[in-house]
Amino acid sequence: MHTPDRSHQPLRARWDPTAPGDGGNRAPRPDRDVKKQSPLGRFISTYGWRAYALPVLFVVTVLVIVDAVNGGAETASASGAPGFGRLSPRAASAGIIGAPPGDGHFPTDLPTGALPEGGPFTETGTGLWHTVAGSSPEFGEGAELHFSYTVEIEDGVDTSGFGGDTAVAAMVDSTLANPKSWSHDKKFAFRRIDRGEPDFRISLTSRDSTRKACGFDIPIDSSCFNADLRRVVLSEVRWVRGALSFEGDIGSYRQYLINHEVGHAIGYHQHQPCETDGGLAPVMMQQTFGTKNNDIAALDPDGVVPMDGKRCRFNPWPYPRG
């Protein structure tokens, strides 16, 4: 029988090159010295040192995100946003918080804290306050703390020159409801009431009554939070005249005044220095007395503000980039 000559037939590709050929047995494949790599081994051999770096970078990224969410509010962030200190326990709220710096024994001609020129203010009120009518829905998430407040005006204080009592209340409400204010923090919620007992009273107050409520008698006008009275004492003198450091921006100064003193009321008891030279001032810095650390340190050499030459720009908000 004639055997066909296969050398002149077309080649055919096999779908399984390991299968035995027609009419013959394929020689067994030699054992391989190298074992088949796992997926992890192939990943490492392909990417080299980067295979070890990627997990580390992932962990670092997660830690940075967690730190930004949980701790960024209390310190200056990498973007330069100012911090405002740590929240004190509510049980620590007693006495006068946020009184002016020092003991009052300093020269009266210091430019820091000087009262700008401006409109008339009330030197002496009656020492009694009336509540401005009106309330608001609660704003802020309030995951931990809910605060109610009233807006009050001392009897004898004439508010007609700056819009009347309702204008003062509207400024307070709009400031605290602003997403750059304290309600930005999910811990807090606020609502204004006009009857019943509030958590604190935001009170526009004459010069003499402010000095009595804040426990000082010095030539620099200031405000404070009197925890024993649960009263946020807003100096009407400053409401009218503002502060030199705010360069005539009276609206921003009033927002600062509200946020700073309410900050004391909700637990931010400590004042803060300018943190970043040329950056925004922390809202808990005593910006009424200036935005330069050296100026405040001169008033209170034993205080928290160092004589380090840093100077900030005025800022009315806890979360200016919120």
Residue 300 and residue 290: Cα distance in Å, rounded? 13
Single out the residue of 250, 247, 232, 226 nearest to residue 182, CA to CA. 232
Q: What is the pTM of this model?
A: 0.74
- Identify the pLDDT of residue 68: 35
199 with 147: CB under 8 angstroms? yes
Per-residue confidence (pLDDT) for residue 155, from 0 to 100 = 98
The pLDDT score that the predictor gives to residue 302 is: 81
pLDDT of residue 213: 93
SS3 (DSSP) at 115: coil
Is there a contact between 204 and 157 (Cβ–Cβ < 8 Å)?
A: yes
Q: Which two tokens stand for residue 96?
A: 């006068």
Residue 281: both structure tokens together: 């001032």
- 185-197 pLDDT, tens digit per residue, is 999 999 999 999 9
Each residue of 253-289: pLDDT tens digit? 999 999 999 999 999 999 999 999 999 999 999 999 9
pLDDT score for 156 = 98
* 264 Cβ contact list (under 8 Å, min separation 6): 97, 98, 224, 225, 232
The DSSP-derived string for 229-267 is TTEEEEEHHHHHH--GGGTT-HHHHHHHHHHHHHHHHHT
Q: Identify the CATH assignment for 118-273 out of 1.10.287, 3.40.390, 3.40.50, 3.30.70.
A: 3.40.390
Q: Report the C-alpha gap between 195 and 208 in whole angstroms.
A: 27
3-state secondary structure of 190: strand
State the distance between the two ends of the chain, measured CA to CA, in whole angstroms: 95
pLDDT, residue 129, reads 98
With a cut of 70, which residues of the chain have pLDDT below it? 1-80, 90-93, 99-112, 216-219, 322
Contact 235, 211 (CB under 8 A): no
Residue spans of the domains in the chain: they are: 118-273
